[in-house]
Amino acid sequence: MTDKTIGIIGGGQLGRMLAMAASRLNFRTIILEPQADCPALQLANRQIVAAYDDEAALAELADACDVITYEFENVPVAAARFLADRRPVYPPPRALEVAQDRLAEKTFLNDCGIRTAGFRAVDSQVDLETALAEFGGAGVLKTRRLGYDGKGQKVFRAGDDAAGAYDALGAVPLILESFIAFDREISVIAARAVDGSIACYDPAENVHRGGILHTSTLPAEIFEGTSSDARSAAIRLLDKLDYVGVIGIEFFVATDGALIANEIAPRVHNSGHWTEAACVISQFEQHVRAVTGLPLGDPVRHSDCVMQNLIGDDIHDVRDWAGKPDVLVHLYGKAEPRPGRKMGHVTRLTGRA
Amino acid sequence: MTDKTIGIIGGGQLGRMLAMAASRLNFRTIILEPQADCPALQLANRQIVAAYDDEAALAELADACDVITYEFENVPVAAARFLADRRPVYPPPRALEVAQDRLAEKTFLNDCGIRTAGFRAVDSQVDLETALAEFGGAGVLKTRRLGYDGKGQKVFRAGDDAAGAYDALGAVPLILESFIAFDREISVIAARAVDGSIACYDPAENVHRGGILHTSTLPAEIFEGTSSDARSAAIRLLDKLDYVGVIGIEFFVATDGALIANEIAPRVHNSGHWTEAACVISQFEQHVRAVTGLPLGDPVRHSDCVMQNLIGDDIHDVRDWAGKPDVLVHLYGKAEPRPGRKMGHVTRLTGRA
């Protein structure tokens, strides 16, 4: 019988959906999250309201749980290591280290034999100008840490003036990435169990708007070989990290089908929400299974589908969505529909797979 | 935006699954249930720990909720009417009255033009002997009220001695039902919205063991005409009750395909658990949609499937079930696996519909 308690760091919609999946398998969940009455709490057993680096709270979480996981990749690595001294922490803290720093991430991906955009570390204005010269004056300058959904970035086209750009992004460690030509974006949601077994869902084709995921469509319009390349990249990467849990890996796809990895998210991923509607075992249950030592579920997809995020005021269309056939609506229990805020998602089944 | 609070009377697995479906649509749920820390609480926002007929608690529930529903058909009708004076109560209390009394139920079914087994009211030993004589000495004697899963019943075969049977069943109002010849059992899960629109899921074929549902299989092996007869019976019955919410209707199917209604359950139903795995909109979400005034979901089935209950010690097989492909496991958070206790269910997808 399954009677463990799972600690989840982070109480947003991903923690909420993990808690929901956990409850269906008889697991209890405790959320560690500084925001009181967080979205995850409605579905979880308990919330510890504390900062992610509060050691007393972390110790309390470890004492109360059998295993600990997280819903976002910016969990302080020190906190994850503090917990890992006391209880199993999945995915391993090493995955956080890699994912939190774009330089470490791209270096790691290349070490796994996975192609990325060209990149240069930028720790000064001089570094920036040298790197830009190497990339023909074009590239995307990004903070190495804590950037997401397009924030903390600056784009350079050939001829743009780079003066002051290092300071403008905060004079923090940066990375310059070369532009790459690509036709489409895909992601692979994969899971690895404690015993090393791996399950990959079919790649989703993703469309972003304003730097935020808009839709994920299954199947992706890609070559069969691109799909299997994405899977084997996922497998190499998961094995190398001795990973446990679900991971999301984003790729650009070139016209010839070649893959260029963009980033990894060591957690359940927005581009995997479709699994809830089109697979027997969702990415959320898959993650719960992995971290609790249950066998991984079969990631087979019974239907084609399109997942669409409901951002900000999109939430007001919920009644219309609910009236359409073959649409699963999932809302996150957030009170205020602020611009850019992920309020929910809908998945429309478009045919049998 | 969907921001109502739903009151649910009863905190077992059905209330739990309703609360889960409600949370996904941003509804809050409050459970009224005398057993503290009930299975539904983990997924609900709050529990009022009180007897079902506690008027102070009922008033508190009404004050805190926008609409009230229930997970079991033995909610006291007086409590439902008390609530209905304050807030919408769906399904309507009239449905409880009909479902709580086998005599009223069979009479109502016949009034809807739906065939049932022969039946006679039994209010004394003399009534019993008269009725048995009419039925050739054979039949099933049942309490009119509060019987379920085969409890409170006595079977008579021709030649059996009926002496003392009325007293043995408690000298309460009884009903004698004639035996009927049937090949199989099916059920229809249907829903009716406030605007009168109706959605029926495909009939499930049910197998009972020891008076408890064992499996529900889709599709049922029945004639097309039997399937449409079951739907039209459901529609007549729902309209006649001015029903709102999900209902479960059990039928026996004769060799020639004729339907004999067995009983109705004015709530989500065990034989509809398969909808969670094989349909976009589960019976739980369908019920939530109906009682909150959202449009009903399309009841289309994307897969064939078999749902199996996990009763008592079956719970120990959960790890094996989780290891099988195409199986969705759903557990109810109950601590002790007592004999006959419903601990969870599994639904195996067996092919595309």
Among residues B169, B163, B114, B120, the alpha carbon closest in space to that of B147 is found at: B169
- The mean pLDDT of A156-184, rounded to a whole number, is 93
From first to last of its 353 residues, chain B has per-residue pLDDT tens of 568 999 999 999 999 999 999 999 999 999 999 999 899 999 999 999 999 999 999 999 999 999 999 999 999 999 999 999 999 999 999 999 999 999 999 999 999 999 999 999 999 999 999 999 999 999 999 999 875 555 678 999 999 999 999 999 888 999 999 999 999 999 999 999 999 999 999 999 999 998 899 999 999 999 999 999 999 999 999 999 999 999 999 999 999 999 999 999 999 999 999 999 999 999 999 999 999 999 999 999 999 999 999 999 999 999 999 999 999 999 999 988 999 999 999 999 999 98
User: In this model, does residue A148 exceed pLDDT 70?
Assistant: no
Q: How many CA atoms lie within 13 A of A161 on its CB side?
A: 3
Output phi, psi for B195, to 5 deg.
-80, 5
Given this model, what pLDDT does residue B2 score? 64
Residue B214, amino acid? H
β partners of residue A176? A120, A141
β partners of residue B248? B189, B265
User: In this model, does residue A150 exceed pLDDT 60?
Assistant: no
- The mean pLDDT of A304-319, rounded to a whole number, is 96
The CA–CA distances, whole Å, from A157 to A128, A132, A140, B11 equal 14, 10, 9, 61
Residue B63, amino acid? D
**Closest Cβ opposite residue A295 in set B24, B322, B333:** B322
Mutate to test the interface with A, among B4, B5, B23, B303 (most CBs of A within 10 A): B23
* B212 at interface of A, judged by CB pairs closer than 8 A: no
pLDDT tier, A2 (very low <50, low <70, confident <90, very high otherwise)? low
Given this model, what pLDDT does residue A167 score? 92
ipTM of the complex: 0.93
- Cα(A162)–Cα(A166) distance, integer angstroms: 8
**DSSP reduced 3-state for B136:** coil
Look at A295 and B337 and tell me if their CB atoms are within 8 Å.
Answer: no
Q: What is the pLDDT of residues A52-77, one digit of tens each?
A: 999 999 999 999 999 999 999 999 99
**Closest Cβ opposite residue A316 in set B1, B45, B329:** B1
Is the CB of residue B323 less than 8 Å from the CB of residue B332?
no
Question: Number of A:B CB contacts under 8 A?
Answer: 101
- The mean pLDDT of A267-281, rounded to a whole number, is 97
* B297 at interface of A, judged by CB pairs closer than 8 A: yes
β partners of residue A200? A190
Q: Taking chain B, what is the end-to-end CA distance rounded to the nearest angstrom?
A: 33
Nearest CA in chain A to B1: A316
* B317 at interface of A, judged by CB pairs closer than 8 A: no
The CA–CA distances, whole Å, from A273 to A189, A347, B129 equal 10, 8, 62
Given this model, what pLDDT does residue A278 score? 97
- The mean pLDDT of A255-274, rounded to a whole number, is 97
pLDDT tier, A229 (very low <50, low <70, confident <90, very high otherwise)? very high
Is the CB of residue B254 less than 8 Å from the CB of residue B222?
no
Is the CB of residue A294 less than 8 Å from the CB of residue B319?
yes
Given this model, what pLDDT does residue A147 score? 58
Is the CB of residue B249 less than 8 Å from the CB of residue B95?
no
Is the CB of residue B73 less than 8 Å from the CB of residue B45?
no
Given this model, what pLDDT does residue B252 score? 98
- The mean pLDDT of A229-251, rounded to a whole number, is 98
Q: Which residue has the tokens 């579905």?
A: A43
Query: In terms of C-beta density within 10 A (0-12 exposed, 13-18 middle, 19 or more buried), how is residue B236 classed?
Result: middle
Look at A315 and B23 and tell me if their CB atoms are within 8 Å.
Answer: no
- Cα(B58)–Cα(A174) distance, integer angstroms: 60
pLDDT tier, A152 (very low <50, low <70, confident <90, very high otherwise)? confident
Q: Alpha-carbon Rg of chain B, whole angstroms?
A: 20
Q: Alpha-carbon Rg of chain A, whole angstroms?
A: 20
* B221 at interface of A, judged by CB pairs closer than 8 A: no
* B337 at interface of A, judged by CB pairs closer than 8 A: yes
Look at A280 and B326 and tell me if their CB atoms are within 8 Å.
Answer: yes
Query: In terms of C-beta density within 10 A (0-12 exposed, 13-18 middle, 19 or more buried), how is residue A50 classed?
Result: middle
β partners of residue B121? B175
Residues found in chain B: 353
pTM: 0.95
Question: In this predicted structure, which of A10-24, A167-181, B71-85 has the lowest mean pLDDT?
Answer: A167-181
User: In this model, does residue A149 exceed pLDDT 70?
Assistant: no
Please give the mean pLDDT across all residues of chain A: 95
pLDDT tier, A94 (very low <50, low <70, confident <90, very high otherwise)? very high
- Cα(A160)–Cα(A239) distance, integer angstroms: 41
**Closest Cβ opposite residue A322 in set B289, B303, B331:** B289
